[in-house]
Structure 1
Amino acid sequence: MNYEKIKTLGDLKKSDYQSKDIKTELRDNLIAKMQKGEKVFDHVIGYDNTVIPDIQRAILARHNINLLGLRGQAKTSIARAMTLLLDEYIPVVEGAELNDDPLEPVSRYARDLIEEKGDKTPVSWMHRSERYTEKLATPDVTITDLIGDIDPIKAANQKLSYNDERVIHFGLVPKANRGIFVINEIPDLQARIQVALFNILQEGDIQIRGFKLRINLDLQFVFTANPEDYTNRGSIITPLKDRIQSQIITHYPKSIDISKQITHQEARILPDQEKKVYVAPILQDMLEMIAFEARESEFIDQKSGVSARLSISAYEDLIGSAERRAIINREKKTTARIGDFIGVIPAITGKVELVYEGEQEGAIGVAHKLINRVIRKVFPQYFPDPEMIKRRKEESPYAEIIKWFAKNDLVLGSDLKDKKFHEKLVSVPGLKELVKKYHPKADATEQFLFMELILHGLAEYSLISKNIDEEGMSFKDMMNSMFSFDDDDFNGDL
């Protein structure tokens, strides 16, 4: 259809355009895409066999939808992606506040204009990107905001009676007519405001200040809610919940690989950063595991959830930490280290809600514990498990390394140049040989990363000690560390 040539109601009548409500529009376009084998929510990762099929069923059934899930589960992203199922352009009566269909006008303005000008009524075309309205539900939202109210200024300026519907100031919902209207965190909406949505959801019309006014609105509603909100801040009242035909449960990524895909898609990494900083796959896995550990931690409120944004922000911080070191040392390129995980702590502390035990540990302490748990889990995947060696009374492959720490310390500063960092790792007898024994095919970059992993792993299995101070990270003999400390040695311990 040539939209540019259709400028009046008469032109529209001569074309092959047929009016359809938004739910039918979404349904028809979804069917067309499915028949062609096209993905609709291709940027929403990890929901292919769970959430997306439920959304497709709801759209096919022409339902309003409530997306129920914890923070950071792509609820709003799904709602925004639904605009791709709308027609690219739809005709509207030019100047109509309610985006009236020229063939089926609903507002007084559009009806009067068509009655006055007939087929010469001007028509404009509305792009699908303009047909999406989003409102965050907060306690201060009013019925006037959502539905509308009488506007005394309009009545005075136009010399109209308060009984004339033209004095009405329409709210966000009527102005979103023929579009997708999203209310985020619906339980936060006051109960009396939720009541105002009853008629719109069930009958499709609105009521304002007792007006005998019936405007058949054409809307696709999408609500989002966090299960925690049902008890902490409010709830979806039962009659409203009853009118939302499909409630779809979202979830967190079920695997590290899916979580990594989400992180790489959403992280805002500049091309310059990608050239300057290399993040090894093992570090990427460890970073994602932090979120998985947080979702099982006894220190964190699991009802609140741990957003996927934790991994995204942590990845950005990890690269930022390595990039900062490269800038300070005037290095063109660097490799992220396990020691750089200290730099992701701010991304963790701001993304978790602590229970009482967590508050006792402190947010930074909990972040350290999460990182340590990840290291402890990852280490046996690449090197012999120290606990299994002890249990079987086998000779330890780490004996030479542990013996060296009995008389020596190793300080790995956060801002050490790569060359100096590598020299310090090589200075530990047996460390490089151990990597070559268990990972003979590892390249130079991987070798140094594995050497660092051994040190962190031995510390997590209490075979050597690990401390953090202003100089950076230091590794020492376990016994010497226990008998030669002062009060400050416990500050910042991992």
Structure 2
Amino acid sequence: MKIKDINTLGQLKKSGYQPRSVKEEIRANLIRTIQQKEQPFTGIIGYEDTVIPDTERAILSKHNMLFLGLRGQAKTRMARQMVDLLDEYIPVIAGSEINDDPLQPLSKFARDLIAEHGDETPIRWLHRSERYGEKLATPDVSVADLIGDIDPIKAANLKLSFADEKVIHYGIIPRSNRGIFVINELPDLQARIQVALFNILQEGDIQIRGFKLRMPLDILFVFTANPEDYTNRGSIVTPLKDRIQSQILTHYPKTIEHSLAITEQEASLSKEQASLVNISDLIKRLIEQVAFEARNNEYVDRKSGVSARLTIAAFENAVSTAERRALIHGETHTQVWISDLSGIIPAITGKIELVYEGEQEGPYQVAVNLLDKAIRSQFLTYFPNPEQAKKRRPVGKKSVEEKEVENPYKAIIRWFDAGNHLDLLMDSKDETRIHNLYKVDGLYAFVKKHYPQANEMQQALLMEFVLHGLAAYSLISKKTIEGKIEFKDLIGSMMNLGDMNLGGEEEDDFDENDYK
């Protein structure tokens, strides 16, 4: 008999239906999923060898669980995907507020209905998408919200005494019976509210006001929280923590590749942006590196964490920066340049929490420094280490060619040392930008030597990257002012004296005849 044909309790009994707990149900479906070599959690990247196995073990053990980790670590996503391990449909007593099992009714409503109608008691089929409850813990959450309370309006309408069980208004937890219930940010829940969960987790029953209720609820509880020591907002009371059988530690992506995959999956780009703007692997890696730098930066509060949402928002901002520039100049195609990364600063400043020293530095300057550090870190994966160029070793009788090998950036640096400078306007056309980059002696030849197969746009991007990299390693000067980036020689930029002497007066050119 098909599900749609089973509409009464009598028909359900004849079908051979056997009730089972939600934890047994999820466990059985997980076992089948593993045996069929399927992935129970999709779109969760970087957890294949850590969080996902821990979660599967907790499910097999029929445990309630706590995902403990910093913000932006897919804790809630993991919990929501457990819904897919539920049966597609289960039978419930029609009209029941707490999804009563027809063969094991809990509420007085369901028991009275079955007593009145017997095998003709109507049932309905509940889809797994309706078997998920979620609540964000906030200080104003009450016991009534979670568990329930007396509803005086219901008592008045039904003309019932407050002592009648039918006047109870059930909270979100009883309404999640035979399903999954998630409490996000558990430490934010007041301690006295956490205490109210003790009996539900240990004994499976609820207590509402003065009613002598014992309703063994059938729920898989999933909690999420930041580590207790990392927040001043509250903590998980120890007896409650003791009743949560499995504590699963989450983490940020451990590699750039995992981080890249997450951003690629989560970033939202329009079709117009995708066709108009090309974003190279270099730019993508620089954006991801910003998050890695932030998580280890002395100015950023490590206890707060740096969410993966930073790189997702930064990726979208980088593309939008290039798109805006192309729209201004009517270009039909462009790419994200290194200088376009200035557009991701708003995505950085809004996603990091600073320590006291960072607040003194200022969020904007911290974001700029993180971007420079990202350029510095990624530069070594593309080009020789500029630190070697800083080391002035005795050359002896080596030829000029051998000297150039020791410092591959010498021709580029020499061009700036000669007093030349390069201004790259943020919103300049691609053609203008490329033309200006070719002005720097030795820059094109250097990139061509290392990437001979690169096309013109790729070479130009790498040329710009070289300049930013040399500035990050303090071999040339970089200054961002009024919509442009100015590259100069390092010493001249530091001194900034020109032809002026220390006293501020212009020096006369030395003339041997005058001296005589």
2:462 pairs with 450, 454, 458, which one? 450
**Residue of structure 1 in register with 2:100 after alignment:** 100
Any conservation in 2 of the 1:188–1:229 contact (CA below 8 Å)? Answer: no
**Residue of structure 2 in register with 1:490 after alignment:** none
The one-letter amino acid paired with 1:444 is: E
Any conservation in 1 of the 2:228–2:234 contact (CA below 8 Å)? Answer: no
| Distance (whole Å) between structure 1 residues aligned to residue 228 and residue 278 of structure 2 | 39
- Written as runs of structure 1 = structure 2, the 5 A alignment for 1:252-271 is 252-271=252-271
Q: Shift of the alpha carbon at 1:228? A: 4.8
Higher radius of gyration, 1 or 2: 2
| Distance (whole Å) between structure 2 residues aligned to residue 231 and residue 424 of structure 1 | 50
Residues 22-75 of structure 1 deviation map (CA, whole Å, 9 limit, x = unaligned)? 000000000000000000012111011111111001000000000000011100
2:491 pairs with 463, 479, 494, which one? 479
**SS of the residue 2:381 aligns to:** helix
| Distance (whole Å) between structure 2 residues aligned to residue 228 and residue 269 of structure 1 | 36
Stretch of structure 1 that moved more, 404-413 or 303-312: 404-413
**Residue of structure 2 in register with 1:203 after alignment:** 203
| Distance (whole Å) between structure 1 residues aligned to residue 80 and residue 448 of structure 2 | 50
Q: Shift of the alpha carbon at 1:382? A: 2.1
Q: How much is the aligned-residue C-alpha RMSD, in angstroms?
A: 1.5
**Residue of structure 1 in register with 2:176 after alignment:** 176
Q: Shift of the alpha carbon at 1:475? A: 1.1
**Residue of structure 2 in register with 1:435 after alignment:** 447
Q: Shift of the alpha carbon at 1:485? A: 8.2
Normalised by the length of structure 1, the TM-score is 0.96
- Written as runs of structure 1 = structure 2, the 5 A alignment for 1:412-423 is 412-423=424-435
| Distance (whole Å) between structure 1 residues aligned to residue 272 and residue 329 of structure 2 | 17
Residues 353-412 of structure 1 deviation map (CA, whole Å, 9 limit, x = unaligned)? 100111111001011111101111222322222221332635433233223223222111
Any conservation in 2 of the 1:317–1:347 contact (CA below 8 Å)? Answer: yes
| Pair 389,230 (structure 1): closer, same or farther in 2 beyond 3 Å | closer
Stretch of structure 1 that moved more, 182-191 or 262-271: 262-271
The one-letter amino acid paired with 2:447 is: V
Q: Shift of the alpha carbon at 1:230? A: 6.0
Q: Shift of the alpha carbon at 1:231? A: 4.7
The one-letter amino acid paired with 1:268 is: S
- Written as runs of structure 1 = structure 2, the 5 A alignment for 1:68-107 is 68-107=68-107
Stretch of structure 1 that moved more, 305-314 or 456-465: 456-465
> Structure 1 unaligned runs (5+)?
487-494
Any conservation in 2 of the 1:301–1:354 contact (CA below 8 Å)? Answer: yes
The one-letter amino acid paired with 2:408 is: P
Superposition misfits of 4+ residues, deviation over 6 angstroms: none
Stretch of structure 1 that moved more, 225-234 or 100-109: 225-234
**Residue of structure 2 in register with 1:145 after alignment:** 145
**Is 1:397 matched up with 2:408?**
yes
The one-letter amino acid paired with 2:289 is: M
**Residue of structure 2 in register with 1:467 after alignment:** 479
**SS of the residue 1:182 aligns to:** strand
**Residue of structure 2 in register with 1:368 after alignment:** 368
**Residue of structure 1 in register with 2:383 after alignment:** 383
- Written as runs of structure 1 = structure 2, the 5 A alignment for 1:193-232 is 193-228=193-228, 231-232=231-232
Any conservation in 2 of the 1:230–1:236 contact (CA below 8 Å)? Answer: no
**Is 1:166 matched up with 2:166?**
yes
Stretch of structure 1 that moved more, 92-101 or 4-13: 4-13
**SS of the residue 1:47 aligns to:** coil
| Distance (whole Å) between structure 1 residues aligned to residue 485 and residue 79 of structure 2 | 45
**Residue of structure 2 in register with 1:491 after alignment:** none
Residues 397-441 of structure 1 deviation map (CA, whole Å, 9 limit, x = unaligned)? 323322322322211111111111111111222111111112222
Residues 459-490 of structure 1 deviation map (CA, whole Å, 9 limit, x = unaligned)? 1122221111113211122233223389xxxx
Any conservation in 1 of the 2:134–2:183 contact (CA below 8 Å)? Answer: yes
**Residue of structure 2 in register with 1:489 after alignment:** none
| Distance (whole Å) between structure 2 residues aligned to residue 313 and residue 472 of structure 1 | 23
The one-letter amino acid paired with 2:413 is: I
Percent sequence identity is 61
The one-letter amino acid paired with 1:402 is: I
| Distance (whole Å) between structure 2 residues aligned to residue 211 and residue 229 of structure 1 | 38
The one-letter amino acid paired with 1:3 is: I
**SS of the residue 1:321 aligns to:** helix
**Residue of structure 1 in register with 2:502 after alignment:** none
